[in-house]
């Protein structure tokens, strides 16, 4: 190479480097990006109002507060802001608790602080030593950290901070992620790589990711994490693993994140050498008591156990002729001395049981109301089948007033397009939370059941099955981050609106330019409905591919379990389609309170989105649009595809406002989503047409392939099994 060409190459390389953004926009930073505020007037306002910061007090959590606020302000304000620790000089931003900070104590906030509980916070515009100031105050250091994240969120969203009078308290006590992570690092129903927990290198190696994970959770108020899969492995309860769990718990603690484990019911046999796991056997009880004491000796604030028992092959108390309360209470007694809790899942059904799967959890659990220990919560999925794109609320909500009922949502998109589809789930979560059980008259919403206000419970909880893995952007699909975010925000305050949560997330994740916020918000808000349309419109459910649950499979039948086939659920025949769950059918409807029964029980009043969930409907039945059921089905499936195409268009229009990396990532996935939406539409319509024997309306796009083509597709190595 000549000198001249090498110089040229060097210059070229330099030019290339300069044209790259300074920080790769690979999604790693989530919603905590802290890039400089773009709105000039806001930036000025912030620089004026927050020129000095004081965080009084010392604790690992306050050290995080100090670091976070310094980092946040440095990025957002693009200038160094001094973060002092001494009370000598009042800052314009003061953070602390009355216990940690004499300055906060001097503000006489005790009445306001009394009202916000241990985890809540206040953010107030006030006067401090005769100067205007902003104060973030709480009763605990964690409250201060939550307040810090809230304050930074205001800045990230370019909100006015001149007259703040915020008080915020979580409505639900236990806000927990459930990781379905196996010890070999595979993740059941995980679409974002492998498990974050590197068991092999633990306890010695603390990956920076653990801290970043805990920080992200703290930023949205999540305060618990179940590290292991509900399809549990007893090994995690052995000493070798418990010291690893301890290392994680120690790393998470300053972020207010408690660790929980799944308890395999047969652990006393598998790792304890006992002959039985009968919960009424004293040797079994003492095994669990000792195991629990061992865990607490390592992890003094261990949260407790999550259990899946006697369901889908998991062992449980019924193996010994005992009931779920016997099993839950044994574990509850074991963790009670140290303040632990048990989250006992109601996702229990059996293919040997001839009754409608949708009825089995209610039938099994309702009679046990009032028999659980005080530190047990029964964890109920949002719907009675299994995290389908749309399900009516689970009849157990409102049915067990003497038992704290915990919500289980699925954040990972097992049934909503897995790793490739954009589906913003806040509207789905909200739909269930707002549903009215009528348990104590009108207005007895599911939200009031789980936040404890309906039946006066103080023990309350909500869980989300995590969508997080080792992928650089944490969730595989960038928009998966919005579901982690929305879950946390709703767990803290279920009254937040989906559109507001979306707007917050967009502003923090991209920017607060209205040309970005509004179109992306629109995309997000239609996305879940789009998925319902192209997968399971009008109340259809459980018609996905076998085992991996990827893609359509309405033809699945003749498997070893009928309740895992599709024909069990859609019941299509020459007359019509849908599962009759009224009196003439399985009568699952009787599990709801009378006003709900009445509403769902009549096809005329049943919300159309649940029509085929509760009714077997004739192909020529006239739906609200005036179309026949068959034509409506065809239009809905097609609408779903059109909605994805609209999302693609919207996204394409944003190119100039977004960084290349994330723009291309989402654009490519939307293309895949369009293909998959067409696949669902065509496969389902062709299959159901073999029963309806009616044409697909001529103004709709024709299926691209034959039914036989779709039926022989057999994708291999689908992630998440
Ligand atoms: O959604 C189904 C999944 C299983 C899962 C089960 C459950 C962990 O297909 O993979 O097992 O539910 O919730 O227990």
Least confident of 16-30, 145-159, 364-378, 517-531: 16-30
- Phi/psi of residue 38, nearest 5 degrees: -85, -35
**Which residues span the domain enclosing 282?**
174-500
Q: In the prediction, which pLDDT does 88 show?
A: 52
309 & 416 share domain: yes
231 & 291 share domain: yes
303 & 368 share domain: yes
Least confident of 22-36, 393-407, 489-503, 707-721: 22-36
Cα distance between residue 264 and residue 241, in whole Å: 14
Q: Is 349 in the pocket of ligand 1 (CB under 6 A)?
A: no
H or E stretch covering 517: helix 514-535
Number of domains in the chain: 3
162 & 228 share domain: no
Q: Is 550 in the pocket of ligand 1 (CB under 6 A)?
A: no
Rounded to the nearest angstrom, the distance between the alpha carbon of 189 and the centre of ligand 1 is 8
162 & 181 share domain: no
Q: Which atom of ligand 1 is nearest to the CA of 314?
A: 14
- What CATH number should be reported for the domain holding residue 639? 3.90.1330.10
- Summarised one tens digit per residue, pLDDT across range 489-523 is 999 999 999 999 999 999 999 999 999 999 999 99
Residue 270 above 80 pLDDT? yes
With a CB cutoff of 8 Å and minimum separation 6, the contacts of 18 are: none
Q: Which residues are catalytic?
A: 312, 386, 414
Q: Which of 186, 233, 312, 720 to mutate to test the pocket of ligand 1 (most atoms within 8 A of CB)?
A: 312
Q: Which atom of ligand 1 is nearest to the CA of 387?
A: 1
Residue 165, classed as helix, strand or coil, is: strand
Cα distance between residue 446 and residue 444, in whole Å: 7
Yes or no: say if 481 and 33 are a contact pair by the CB < 8 Å rule: no
Q: Could you give the dihedral angle defined by the CA atoms of residues 236, 237, 242 and 246, in that order, rounded to the nearest 10 degrees?
A: 90
Residue 1, classed as helix, strand or coil, is: coil
CA-angle at 24, arms to 21 and 28, nearest 5°: 150
567 & 470 share domain: no
270 & 411 share domain: yes
159 & 180 share domain: no
Once rounded to an integer, what is the mean pLDDT over residues 611-621? Answer: 98
Yes or no: say if 419 and 477 are a contact pair by the CB < 8 Å rule: yes
Residue 12 above 90 pLDDT? no
- Summarised one tens digit per residue, pLDDT across range 638-659 is 999 999 999 999 999 999 999 9
pTM assigned to the model: 0.96
Q: Share the mean pLDDT of the chain.
A: 95
Q: In the prediction, which pLDDT does 8 show?
A: 55
Residue 444 above 80 pLDDT? yes
Selected residue with higher pLDDT from 543 and 132: 543
Distance of CA 659 to the CA centre of its chain: 27
Once rounded to an integer, what is the mean pLDDT over residues 111-136? Answer: 94
Cα distance between residue 545 and residue 552, in whole Å: 5
Least confident of 91-100, 209-218, 391-400, 537-546: 91-100
Q: In the prediction, which pLDDT does 82 show?
A: 86
363 & 424 share domain: yes
Q: Which atom of ligand 1 is nearest to the CA of 312?
A: 14
444 & 365 share domain: yes
Q: Which of 231, 265, 565 to mutate to test the pocket of ligand 1 (most atoms within 8 A of CB)?
A: 231
Confidence category of residue 16, pLDDT binned at 50, 70, 90: very low
Q: Cis omega before residue 19 (within 30°)?
A: no
With a CB cutoff of 8 Å and minimum separation 6, the contacts of 163 are: 125
Residue 203 above 90 pLDDT? yes
Residue 335 above 60 pLDDT? yes
Cα distance between residue 355 and residue 376, in whole Å: 27
Residue 379 above 50 pLDDT? yes
- Strand blocks (E) in 4-56: 52-55
Residue 58, classed as helix, strand or coil, is: coil
Confidence category of residue 21, pLDDT binned at 50, 70, 90: very low
Confidence category of residue 20, pLDDT binned at 50, 70, 90: very low
Cα distance from N-terminal residue to C-terminal residue, the chain: 53
CA-angle at 541, arms to 716 and 481, nearest 5°: 65
H or E stretch covering 140: none
Q: In the prediction, which pLDDT does 543 show?
A: 98
Confidence category of residue 23, pLDDT binned at 50, 70, 90: low
- What CATH number should be reported for the domain holding residue 392? 3.20.20.80
Residue 90 above 90 pLDDT? no
Rounded to the nearest angstrom, the distance between the alpha carbon of 170 and the centre of ligand 1 is 28
Give which of 333, 173, 331 is closest to 256, Cα–Cα: 173
Q: In the prediction, which pLDDT does 17 show?
A: 46
Strand partners for 131:
128
195 & 242 share domain: yes
Least confident of 38-52, 187-201, 665-679: 38-52
Confidence category of residue 138, pLDDT binned at 50, 70, 90: very high
């Amino acid at each position: 190479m000549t000198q001249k060409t090498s110089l040229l190459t060097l210059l070229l390389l330099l030019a290339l480097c300069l044209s790259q953004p300074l920080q790769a926009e690979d999604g790693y930073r989530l919603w905590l990006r802290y890039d400089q505020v773009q709105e000039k007037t806001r930036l000025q306002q912030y620089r004026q109002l927050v020129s000095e910061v004081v965080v009084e007090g010392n604790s690992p959590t306050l050290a995080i507060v100090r670091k976070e606020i310094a980092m946040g302000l440095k990025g957002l304000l693009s200038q160094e802001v001094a973060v002092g620790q001494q009370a000598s000089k009042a800052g314009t931003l003061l953070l602390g608790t009355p216990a940690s900070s004499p300055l906060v104590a001097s503000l006489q906030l005790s009445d306001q602080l009394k009202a916000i509980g241990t985890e809540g916070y206040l953010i107030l515009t006030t006067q401090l030593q005769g100067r205007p100031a902003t104060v973030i105050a709480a009763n605990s250091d964690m409250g201060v950290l939550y307040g810090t994240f809230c304050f930074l969120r205001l800045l990230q969203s370019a909100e006015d901070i001149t007259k703040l009078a915020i008080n915020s308290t979580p409505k639900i006590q236990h806000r927990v992620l459930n990781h379905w992570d196996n010890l070999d690092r595979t993740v059941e129903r995980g679409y974002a790589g492998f498990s974050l927990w590197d068991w092999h290198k633990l306890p010695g190696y603390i990956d920076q990711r653990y801290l970043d994970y805990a920080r992200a959770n703290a930023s949205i108020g999540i305060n618990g994490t179940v590290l292991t899969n509900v399809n549990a492995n007893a090994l995690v309860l052995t000493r070798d693993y418990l010291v690893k769990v301890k290392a994680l718990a120690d790393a998470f603690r300053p972020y207010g994140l408690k660790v929980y484990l799944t308890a395999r019911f047969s652990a006393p046999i598998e790792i304890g050498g006992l002959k039985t796991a009968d919960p009424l056997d004293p040797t079994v009880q003492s095994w669990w008591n000792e195991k629990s004491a061992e865990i607490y000796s390592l992890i003094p604030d261990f949260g407790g156990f999550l259990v899946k028992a006697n369901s889908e092959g998991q062992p449980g108390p019924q193996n010994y002729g005992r009931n779920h309360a016997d099993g839950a209470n044994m574990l509850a007694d074991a963790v009670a001395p140290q303040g632990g809790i048990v989250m006992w899942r109601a996702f229990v059904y059996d293919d040997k049981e001839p009754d409608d799967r949708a009825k089995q959890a209610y039938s099994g659990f309702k009679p046990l109301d009032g028999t659980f220990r005080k530190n047990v919560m029964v964890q109920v999925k949002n719907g009675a089948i299994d995290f389908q794109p749309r399900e009516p609320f689970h009849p157990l909500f409102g049915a067990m007033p003497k038992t704290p009922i915990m919500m289980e949502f699925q954040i990972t998109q097992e049934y909503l397009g897995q790793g490739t589809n954009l589906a913003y789930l806040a509207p789905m979560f909200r739909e269930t939370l707002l549903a009215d059980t009528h348990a104590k008259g009108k207005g007895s919403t599911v939200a009031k059941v789980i936040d404890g206000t309906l039946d006066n419970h103080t023990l309350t909880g909500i869980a989300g099955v995590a969508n997080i893995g080792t992928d650089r952007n944490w969730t595989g699909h960038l928009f998966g981050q919005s579901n982690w975010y929305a879950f946390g925000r709703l767990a803290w305050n279920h009254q937040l609106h989906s559109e507001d949560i979306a707007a917050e997330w967009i502003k923090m994740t991209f920017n607060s330019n209205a040309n970005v916020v509004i179109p992306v918000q629109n995309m997000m808000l239609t996305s879940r409905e789009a998925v319902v349309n192209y997968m399971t419109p009008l109340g259809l459910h459980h018609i996905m591919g076998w085992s991996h649950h990827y893609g359509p499979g309405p033809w699945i039948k003749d498997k070893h379990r009928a309740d895992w086939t599709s024909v069990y659920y859609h019941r299509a025949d020459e007359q019509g389609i849908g599962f009759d769950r009224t009196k003439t059918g399985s009568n699952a409807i009787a599990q709801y309170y009378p006003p709900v029964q009445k509403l769902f029980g009549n096809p005329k009043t049943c919300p159309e989105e649940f029509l085929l969930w509760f009714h077997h409907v004739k192909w020529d039945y006239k739906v609200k649009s005036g179309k026949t059921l068959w034509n409506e089905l065809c239009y809905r499936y097609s609408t779903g595809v059109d909605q994805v195409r609209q999302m693609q268009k919207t996204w394409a229009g944003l190119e100039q406002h977004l960084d290349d990396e994330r723009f291309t990532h989402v654009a490519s996935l939307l293309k895949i989503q369009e293909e998959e939406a067409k696949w669902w539409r065509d496969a389902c319509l062709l299959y159901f047409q073999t029963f309806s024997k009616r044409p697909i309306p001529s103004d709709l796009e024709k299926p691209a392939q034959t039914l036989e083509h779709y039926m022989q597709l057999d994708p291999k190595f689908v992630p998440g099994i």
